[in-house]
Amino acid sequence: MSEILDCDPNKGFVAFPVAVFDLELTPGAFRTLAELCRMANAEGQCWPSLAQVGRKLGRSRAAISGYIAELRDVGVITTEEQKMANGYNYRLRYTVTFWKEWRAGLGKSRRRAERTVQPAERPLETKNHIHNNHSPSKPSEVVDILSGWKIAVGKAPYPDFESWPSDTLIARSRSATNRAIPVSDRPISADIDAALSRFFANVGLKSAPPLGIGPALVAYLPTQAALARLICALQEDWQPHWRKPPSKFQLIRLCKALPVISDAATEQKLLKSYLRRWKLYRERLPSAAISATVAA
């Protein structure tokens, strides 16, 4: 295989977010998106002609134009007409909507996933909001437990520990993960669809939003507060001249960009991850080491 295809990484490569593969795209539209990403700059912009893209893909100008329209309809690209100094039309400017944010986050996603989220550490990116209630002066019991796990982990690589967690810390963690989260605080897909429908009606959209988009957003909106933050973000970003609802991909991207606020569901997930790490770490240790520690 290596003799047929040159896979030298120094010649560059194109990486896609996993969410792109969940879009309903024709094979031609997907190849066109890959070609636009290959030519895009750091801002996600490029200026190829239809003929140029057609030669790369072996398709006609009309076919490429159809693929561009398909990509524009799902919201992964935008196009803008360019004018020359003499007033004649120039090539369209294509912008891959997720490219700038995606490139900037490639090297940071691993570090973000491994950090323990504390209320005082969150960046306050929203505007004209009072954040006094977001960082309580007295940390909750779960935040105190998470701090204990963070000290035990230290800078050790997964799944190791710098110091063994105490039996009290483990018992408190198991007790906290067994507490039931109020069902009323968990939005279901019908709640999400209803909230989006009310918002689209308030902004005066003539066309009804697509039904059944709630199940795709449930994983990104674990609480009613998260759903409320999504609606607030839509209200802040909505432009009066927009006449189409955002696509599923755009809503998922907006959910991921929302500032993280610590809640019961998030804290339980973090505690469960620490307990799984501790279980995996103990399974890797020889039985003699565990017995000696318990006896001590």
Residue 198 lies in a domain: yes
Q: Which of 113, 251, 244, 240 is nearest to 195 (CA)?
A: 251
Residue 22 lies in a domain: yes
Residue 88 lies in a domain: yes
Residue 176's pLDDT is what? 84
CA–CA separation, 122 vs 44, rounded Å? 28
Walk along the chain (296 residues) and give the pLDDT tens digit of each residue: 445 566 666 667 788 888 888 888 899 999 999 999 988 888 889 988 898 999 989 999 999 999 999 999 888 999 988 776 666 666 788 999 988 888 887 765 444 433 333 433 334 344 444 444 444 334 457 777 888 888 888 888 888 888 888 889 899 888 888 876 555 567 888 888 888 888 888 888 765 555 578 888 888 887 777 888 888 888 888 887 787 888 888 888 888 887 765 566 677 778 888 898 888 888 887 765 555 554 44
Cβ proximity of 196 and 213 under 8 Å: yes
Residue 96's pLDDT is what? 92
Work out whether strand 77-83 and strand 45-46 pair parallel, antiparallel, or are unpaired: unpaired
Q: Which of 242, 257, 272 is the last residue of a domain?
A: 257
Structural domain span for residue 228: 183-257
Residue 295 lies in a domain: no
Residue 85 lies in a domain: yes
Q: Which of 171, 174, 23 is nearest to 97 (CA)?
A: 23
Work out how many domains the chain is built from and give that number. 2
